[in-house]
Amino acid sequence: MVADTAVLQIAPELFPNGIGRYAVGGLLVGLGVVVIYLGTGISAGASTFLESTLSYVSEQSRFQRYVASRDWRLVFTAGIVLGGFLFALTVQSGLLSSSLYQPGTTGQLHQLGGFTFWTTNVQPWRLFLGGTLVGIGTRIGKGCTSGHGVCGVGSASKTSIVGVLTFLAVAIGTAQIVAALGVSP
């Protein structure tokens, strides 16, 4: 990629893993959103799945607002999980390789029947507490990294741009503080 080499020549230390996997992955994430929008006119975000799925098990009025969309949100999420699985079966397992993909050294790789799976080293308490705050925050703040970050920014929504700048700035501050306190990984 021309952009790849140009950026890497100017600031290689900012991109220790290159930019190929990030740029290609981002284009695919955008393409997934476009496929759904093209056929349905829906700009799909990932976090409303949490509330819409809770409508199956809770009568709270807040969740019942999402009854009409809960079936396709379940299908969308199943697609995301299986999309990750498809990636694990092909690229992560070495079945497909590309100069645009750098495997990286984070977490743990495991072999199972010829396939390579990956697990995180980030501690469970961080995942659980962080996940809880993500669950509260995306629902109060009307979106997450896909709803605000991809769909909202893509449609030049001022609300989404402010939302993204807010959570990005707070997340950077939080991650820096947590790292400074010596929590790793």
Partner 1 sequence: MADRHPLFKPLIFVGGLIFGFGLGFSHMARPEVVLQFLQFEDFGLVFVMFGAAIVSGVAFAVLPRISDRAPLTGDAYERRLKAFDRNVLIGGGIFGVGWGLSGICPGAAYASLGVGNVTILWALAGMFLGAYAQGYWRSRAADAGPAVTGAD
Scan residues 69-128 and list those touching partner 1 (CB under 8 A).
71-72, 75-88, 91-92, 101, 104, 106-107, 110, 116-122, 124, 126-128
167, two tokens = 């959570």
165, two tokens = 């700048």
* The one among 5, 6, 12, 35 contacting partner 1 by CB under 8 A: 35
142 three-class SS: coil
47 scored as a contact of partner 1 (CB under 8 A): yes
- Considering the complex, what minimum distance in angstroms separates the CB of residue 162 from partner 1? 6
12: preceding bond cis by omega (within 30 degrees): no
Measured CA to CA, the distance from residue 171 to residue 167 in angstroms comes to 6
Nearer to partner 1, 83 or 94 (CB): 83
Q: Please give the residues from 150 up to 179 whose contact with partner 1 meets the rule CB under 8 A.
A: 150-160, 162-164, 166-176, 178-179
- Considering the complex, what minimum distance in angstroms separates the CB of residue 164 from partner 1? 8
The dihedral through the CA atoms of 145, 149, 152, 157 has a sign that is: positive
Nearer to partner 1, 94 or 104 (CB): 104
Nearer to partner 1, 94 or 131 (CB): 131
118 three-class SS: strand
- Considering the complex, what minimum distance in angstroms separates the CB of residue 117 from partner 1? 3
Q: Please give the residues from 130 up to 149 whose contact with partner 1 meets the rule CB under 8 A.
A: 130-146, 148-149
DSSP assignment string, 47-106: THHHHHHHTTT---HHHHTTGGGHHHHHHHHHHHHHHHHHHIIIIITTSS--TT------
* The one among 6, 58, 70, 182 contacting partner 1 by CB under 8 A: 58
